[in-house]
Amino acid sequence: MITMSTAPVKPLTPVRLHPIRRNLTSTTTLKSQAMLAAVPSKHIIGCSTYNRCFEFKSWSQMRNPAFLSHRRRVSTVVASAGNMTAPSSWESWMPDKKAAATTLLLSDVIWPAAGAFAAMAILGRMDQMLSPKGITMSVAPLGAVCAILFTTPSAPAARKYNMFLAQIACAAIGVVAFSVFGPGWLARSVALAASIAFMVIARANHPPAASLPLMFIDGAKFHDLNLWYALFPGAAACVILSLLQSIICYLKENMKF
């Protein structure tokens, strides 16, 4: 018979379990700090706007239609405010490094200059035809339009939507401001402010159009046109410039030298 010896068994010491406390605030804080650090500050009239975009809401609040609409509005404001961020003070005085690194061809100089010459030649010939009526087509803002269309045809200001909408609306604003306030600094100030506000709201950025209201208010020869000034000479001349831009862009792409 096999006998088994028994050894005394020591009772196990009771283990006290401590509840694990999860630091909810640290994770959220780290995430929010990291996200805020990665996003540059966007300011509108001195008020910071990015803080509201990264507020951590509960799921029920996020599904609320009012919260969603508010979030879309804030996102739109932040996106539009991104255009207001300017480079540092020293960088703005230096040439663009990307543009300087790009190889410049002779055709990049010849064709835009030829387009501007052709545009002013055509408009100048039309001036001779319209001189008995005392109006002109080759106005100063069209020089800035030529520079945009022929040198930077892919820029937002060169889009046909931006150009025609801004030209027509800003010219009409100048006519209305002159009719309400008469000639003087108040009409010029109101017209320019309203023109810039319209381009921002309509998302039709076209800087040369901002000079059309001032040209109408200060130019007595345009007063007889009244609301026709919204179409002539700005918008009418832009039709000719758009056709020339298509020709110049085609020649620039297919005849490089």
First-to-last alpha carbon distance for the chain, in angstroms, is 111
pLDDT of residue 99: 74
pLDDT of residue 54: 37
Structure tokens at 27: 């994770």
pLDDT of residue 228: 93
Three-state DSSP class for residue 44: strand
Confidence (pTM): 0.64
Torsion angle of alpha carbons 68, 73, 79, 83, nearest 10°? -170
pLDDT of residue 83: 52
Torsion angle of alpha carbons 135, 218, 208, 146, nearest 10°? 30
Structure tokens at 243: 């056709």
Distance CA 113, CA 185 (A): 36
Write out the E strands in the chain.
Answer: 43-44, 47-48
Residues in the chain with pLDDT values less than 50: 1-3, 5, 19-32, 34-59, 62, 67-68, 70-82
Cα dist from 253 to 71, 119, 250, whole Å: 44, 19, 5
Structure tokens at 212: 């059309």
What Rg, from alpha-carbon coordinates, does the chain have? 32
pLDDT of residue 75: 42
Cβ atoms < 10 Å from Cβ of 82: 10
The residue assigned the tokens 């609306």 is: 169
pLDDT of residue 77: 40
Structure tokens at 235: 């918008």
